[in-house]
Amino acid sequence: AIFVKTDVSEAPDVRRLVQSTVERFRCLHVLVNNTGIVKSRGPRLVHETDESTYTKTMDDNVKSVFLGCKYAVEQFRRQNLDSVGNKHAVLDHNLPIGLEVAWVCGFK
């Protein structure tokens, strides 16, 4: 195993994470997108949410999944792999309204 300090909302960090993994293990077999944050306790109304909280939450919860897929898929294609699975974060089970989302996307 290796540790690669990564801000999953930053493209250069995610790219470096994938590259470091491939350099160490010569390939990438799996991508697990399992990050998630909630910056406030309990539900918050939209008019009570500041833009910086919204941006940080979307970057960590949504953009990170995109970036993980983007750089992992580039490597998977080089290895002739053709699918990625994404599952929601465990944190969703503790939210007032859990997002029960799981999907598999194919690419060619």
Asked if residue 13 lies in contact with residue 6, where contact means CB atoms within 8 angstroms, the answer is yes
Residues with Cβ within 8 Å of residue 14, at least 6 apart in sequence: 6, 8, 64, 67, 68, 70, 71
Query: Is 89 a residue whose pLDDT tops 60?
Result: no
Q: Which residues have C-beta within 8 Å of that of residue 33, sequence separation ≥ 6?
A: 64, 65, 68, 69, 86, 87
Within a domain: 74: yes
Is the per-residue pLDDT at 65 higher than 60? yes
Higher pLDDT, 28 or 88: 28
Whether residue 38 is contained in a domain is answered as: no
Q: Which domain holds residue 63?
A: 11-33+47-81
The conformational region for residue 42 under phi > 0 = left, psi -120 to 50 = alpha, else beta, is left
User: Lowest-pLDDT range, 27-31, 63-67, 88-92?
Assistant: 88-92
Q: What average pLDDT does range 68-97 have in this prediction? A: 73
pLDDT one-digit tens code per residue, 29-38: 888 887 777 7
Q: What is the DSSP letter of 26?
A: S
Residue 37's pLDDT is what? Answer: 76
pTM of the model: 0.75
Residue 101, domain member (yes or no): no
pLDDT tops 50 at residue 96? no
Question: What is the domain count for the chain?
Answer: 1
Q: Is residue 77 part of a domain?
A: yes
Quick one: what percent of the chain has pLDDT higher than 70?
A: 72
